[in-house]
């Protein structure tokens, strides 16, 4: 009997080991036993992004001449960043150490973890390791930037091991609001570091794959040097609801909609949410149309890779919705965060070219506003209601659950991992501090908890956490095709233009005598309505004329001196009269 048990146990071990694969930067055996066995030492961790902010997540690990990065996300611009399209991390430190970079591992396919990747790979060509769905989403981004054929993409799965120099990293399956999300167990000479990535604990996930808590627990028993854990929901008590509960809410709401046309707005990346919407729509005999570029791309990639099960004939192009009655159609759209250019916002403002809302529409916003987006979402809800549309939003029904762990789940992760040191990541200061307080309540000493900031670089060892000199960090603005060419000076000019407008002064000057022969003419945009302020404009012209006559000397032709004097004089006069400070742009032409 003992022999049988031993044989059975050996078979189980062989089966488990057969599922693990190893990817190496250096040539090593594929067996676990051949992983680098080096005495304990110190490892450096740098926070390129994702600390004291939502989004732009990126972490860098270093040991001697080996470095690798985890994630490379973007953040969406705040309202103060006028005209800016995206915000990405500062890659200066990675460029300066490109010869040491062995690769980058992506934990999942959300924009705040993959959105900056193409911009990094334009500067540093390194291998990218990610799971199947994440690779599919990355390919689309690289193709847009013309990089698809030049970047090495390595598809990995939970249980696989990647050896990058002195680092060996195991991928551990976690639940999140997108499939194929993983946490990392990073083994290095200093010890074991666990980085959870974005995660939640879902006991009844839509895809049936529960977070691999036993594997985290195994590492906890071995001894974990440090835990870097997702802090997004650290202020929320309790546990995070299961994604499957949303499907039940959809069934209830779809019945309540009766013969109305249903429009559901959700995060474009939430495949499980999209699957549940399609399942309920199919059960109720409705066709489904998808609106929004990012959502259309997700449905395409998800169905091709087998993450979405779409019944044949249920999807129809948005152009075909007029061929169906309201009770026969359901529209899934982007815009759950009230983004100004999103499909839902255009519908609410009656600007969408294919969808015209009527009181017979039933809109479900299946998302909770991200901090800072509350007003934009509120504006969209108000605009929808003005058109007589019935709107289900926020906490009216359980139409959204978070993809991030709440306090009890976060404490469970700390409890099973049992780290010596704790570092909260991914969140604003209030989230990081709340998470640190949870760690304190779990008996982790205060001196063993590090609350970091962007640019911080620390040294980790059994002896403690030591803060080193900061590395170059911050925000790089992407505006159109321009990357980093929009800075504080440009943004300040845009702010002035948006608030007080611009005054353009045009004058023709005799190059020989220095006298004004034409103008000065004044053009006002965004400052005052000229026809109603003729006296103000005439006085401004007189001031401009006097400045040129008194300060322009034909002998020296000091253009800058005259421009600066004109700006000062006009700015002083216009502020006295209007309490506004428009941008003043003098233009002189010599004739």
Which sequence positions are flagged as catalytic?
A: 230, 404
Contact of 341 with 294, CB cutoff 8 Å: no
| Per-position b or e across 309-335, b if 16+ CB within 10 A of its CB | ebeeeebbebeebeeeebbebbbbbbb
DSSP character at residue 244: H
Q: Which of 119, 110, 121, 182 is nearest to 152 (CA)?
A: 121
Cα gap 258→385, rounded to integer Å: 19
Contact of 331 with 355, CB cutoff 8 Å: yes
Please report, in angstroms and rounded to a whole number, the separation of the first and last CA atoms in the chain: 107
Contact of 135 with 155, CB cutoff 8 Å: yes
Peptide bond preceding 520 in cis form (omega within 30 of 0): yes
Q: Which of 574, 565, 405 is nearest to 501 (CA)?
A: 574
| Three-class secondary structure assignment of 271-340 | HHHHHHHHHHHHHCCCEEEEECHHHHHHHHHHHHCCCCCCCCCCECCHHHHHHCCHHHEEEEECCCCCCC
Does residue 225 sit in helix, strand or coil?
A: strand
> How far apart, in Å, are the Cα atoms of 516 and each of 298, 521, 547, 558?
63, 11, 11, 15
Cα gap 154→131, rounded to integer Å: 8
Contact of 107 with 131, CB cutoff 8 Å: no
Q: Which of 573, 588, 501 is nearest to 535 (CA)?
A: 573
| Three-class secondary structure assignment of 92-151 | HHHHHCHHHEEEEECCCCCHHHHCCHHHHHCCCCCCEEEEHHHHHHHHHHHHHCCCCCCC
For 334-372, list the strands marked E by DSSP.
Answer: 361-366
Number of CB atoms found within 10 A of residue 475's CB: 17
Cα gap 224→349, rounded to integer Å: 53
Q: Which of 425, 420, 433, 423 is nearest to 464 (CA)?
A: 420
| H or E element that contains 566 | helix 559-578
């Amino acid at each position: 009997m003992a022999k049988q048990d031993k044989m059975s146990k050996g078979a189980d071990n062989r089966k488990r080991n057969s599922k693990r694969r190893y990817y190496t930067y250096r040539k090593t055996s594929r067996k676990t036993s051949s992983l680098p066995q080096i005495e304990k030492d110190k490892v450096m961790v740098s926070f390129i992004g994702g600390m004291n902010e939502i989004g732009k997540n990126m972490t860098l690990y270093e040991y001697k001449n080996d470095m690798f990065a985890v994630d490379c996300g973007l953040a969406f611009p705040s309202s103060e960043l006028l005209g800016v399209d995206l915000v990405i991390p500062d890659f200066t430190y990675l460029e300066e150490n490109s010869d040491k970079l062995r690769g980058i591992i992506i934990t999942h396919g959300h924009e705040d973890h993959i959105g900056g990747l193409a911009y990094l790979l334009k500067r540093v060509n390194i291998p990218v390791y990610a799971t199947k769905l994440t690779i599919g989403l990355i390919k689309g981004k690289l193709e847009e930037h013309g990089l698809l054929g030049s970047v090495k993409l390595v598809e990995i799965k939970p249980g696989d091991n990647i050896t990058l120099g002195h680092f060996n990293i195991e991928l551990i399956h976690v639940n999140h609001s997108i499939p194929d999300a993983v946490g990392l167990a990073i083994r290095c000479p200093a010890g074991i570091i666990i980085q959870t990535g974005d995660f939640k604990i879902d006991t009844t996930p839509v895809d049936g794959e529960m977070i691999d808590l036993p594997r985290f627990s195994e590492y906890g028993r071995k001894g974990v040097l440090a835990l870097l854990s997702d802090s997004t929901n650290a202020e929320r008590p309790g546990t995070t609801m299961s994604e499957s509960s949303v499907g039940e809410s959809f069934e209830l709401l779809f019945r309540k909609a009766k013969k109305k046309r249903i429009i559901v707005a959700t995060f474009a990346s939430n495949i499980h949410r999209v699957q549940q919407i399609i399942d309920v729509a199919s059960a109720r005999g409705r066709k489904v149309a998808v609106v929004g570029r990012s959502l259309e791309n997700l449905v395409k990639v998800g169905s091709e890779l087998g993450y979405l099960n779409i019944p044949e004939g249920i999807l129809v192009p948005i152009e075909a919705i007029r061929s169906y009655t309201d009770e026969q159609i359901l529209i899934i759209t982007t815009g759950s965060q009230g983004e100004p250019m999103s499909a839902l916002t255009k519908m609410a403002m009656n600007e969408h070219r294919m969808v015209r809302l009527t009181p017979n529409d039933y809109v479900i916003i299946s998302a909770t506003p991200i901090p800072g987006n509350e007003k934009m979402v509120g504006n969209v809800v108000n605009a929808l209601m003005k058109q007589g549309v019935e709107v289900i939003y926020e906490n009216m029904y359980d139409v959204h659950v978070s993809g991030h762990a709440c306090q009890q789940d976060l404490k469970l992760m700390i409890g099973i991992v049992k780290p010596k040191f704790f570092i909260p990541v991914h969140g604003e200061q209030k989230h990081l501090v709340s998470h640190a307080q949870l760690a304190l309540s779990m008996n982790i000493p205060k001196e063993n908890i590090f609350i970091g900031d962007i640019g911080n670089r620390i040294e980790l060892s059994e002896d403690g956490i030591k803060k080193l000199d900061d590395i170059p960090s911050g925000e790089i603005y992407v505006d159109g095709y321009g990357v980093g060419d929009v800075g504080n000076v440009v943004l300040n000019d845009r702010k002035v233009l948006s608030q007080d407008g611009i005054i353009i002064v045009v004058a023709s000057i005799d190059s020989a005598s220095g006298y004004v022969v034409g103008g000065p003419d004044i053009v006002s945009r965004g400052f005052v309505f000229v026809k109603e302020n003729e006296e103000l404009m005439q006085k401004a012209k007189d001031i401009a004329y006097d400045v040129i006559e008194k300060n322009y000397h034909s002998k020296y032709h000091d253009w800058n001196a005259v421009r600066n004097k004109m700006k000062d004089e006009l700015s002083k006069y216009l502020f006295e009269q209007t309490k506004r400070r428009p941008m003043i742009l003098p233009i002189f032409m010599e004739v």
